[in-house]
Amino acid sequence: MMITKVPVGFLGLALLFGGGTEAGAAGDQPLWELGAGVGALSFPAYRGSDEQNQFLLPVPYFTYHGEILKADRHGVRGEVFDSDRLEFTISAALSPPVASDDARARAGMADLKATFELGPEIDLTLWRSASRARSLKLLVPARAAFTLEGPPQDIGWVVHPRFNLDVTDLPGLAGWNLGLQAGPVFGDRRQHAYFYEVAPRFARADRPAYSARAGFGGMQYLAAVSKRFPGLWVGAFARYDNLAGAVFEDSPLVKRSDNFSGGVAVSWIFRESSVRVRVDD
């Protein structure tokens, strides 16, 4: 689930912190940039877990502004259709594995494997300032999810419509970019079953058997800031998940109705393309 899970892999981690390019810096930019750095991250084992994980990881920095393929603060995506107000893209996401030994609620159960998600996304610009430094969009991704380890397993789909506010002219904070997102998460039965179902063979006194169903998967809120300095990029994010009213809220694997995640990253940019392209946010 794209923003319901922390992306695994160095590129995914970099994008989680807000991407790599200066938001709203329309006009002349390098076709691509390449760098590397380090990030500190804290997030729950899974949404609804009462256990928090902390990591210090290397973070690559990569941006690409091609005609179709793009990699920037909005993620890695293929742009199929683009107008002034409407974009149709193909987007992807990754999620990390969770060993049952690292999550007490799942003790004795099968590990959660790393997953890959791919699907279409429609982005509708609802409002944009005259300077294009501020914009409000409705993002609607629909992704099919598969496990990565062993033979791929189809684990359903996720839809996560959300409002996205970008601000690139923060008063008194020249060069800093702010992104805010909020929206509900929905999944089918297979998606929710993969994370929250308890098969009868794994049931015990404090973990009764549980059958998941499709529907609402809670709310998610994200705030991210970033700034591109000469030869350096810095970023940070904070995320809040609320599972109140989720169809799987009564699963014995849900130990908390809310979770917080956050992180900071620094990347040094050591190569960039001599080719310049126009970039419009």
pTM of the predicted model as reported, rounded to 2 decimal places: 0.84
Whole-number pLDDT of residue 73: 53
Contact of 147 with 180, CB cutoff 8 Å: no
Nearest 5°: the CA angle 126, 130, 134 is: 55
Q: Report the mean per-residue pLDDT for the chain.
A: 83
CA separation (Å) from 133 to 42, 128, 178? 30, 8, 10
Residues 6+ apart with CB under 8 A from 172: none
Q: Tokens representing 63?
A: 């941006």
Percent of the chain's residues with pLDDT above 70: 82
Task: Provide the pLDDT confidence category of residue 157 given band limits of 50, 70 and 90.
Answer: very high
The Cα–Cα gap between 279 and 121 comes to 20
Taking residues 127-154, report their average pLDDT: 92
In the predicted structure, residue 5 carries a pLDDT above the cut 90: no
Taking residues 142-160, report their average pLDDT: 93
Q: How many helices (H) and strands (E) does the chain have?
A: 2, 15
Contact of 107 with 205, CB cutoff 8 Å: no
Give residue limits of the domains in the chain. Answer: 10-279
First to last CA, the chain: 25
CA 45 to centroid of chain Cα atoms:
15
Taking residues 182-187, report their average pLDDT: 97
CATH architecture of the domain with residue range 10-279: Beta Barrel (2.40)
DSSP-derived 3-state class of residue 216: strand
pLDDT (tens digit, 9 = 90+) per residue, 106-124?
Answer: 999 999 998 888 899 999 9
Beta bridge partners of 181: 164, 222
DSSP 110: P
Taking residues 32-53, report their average pLDDT: 90
Whole-number pLDDT of residue 74: 53
CA separation (Å) from 94 to 3, 15, 213? 10, 11, 23
pLDDT (tens digit, 9 = 90+) per residue, 55-79?
Answer: 888 888 877 765 655 555 555 555 5
Higher pLDDT, 20 or 141: 141
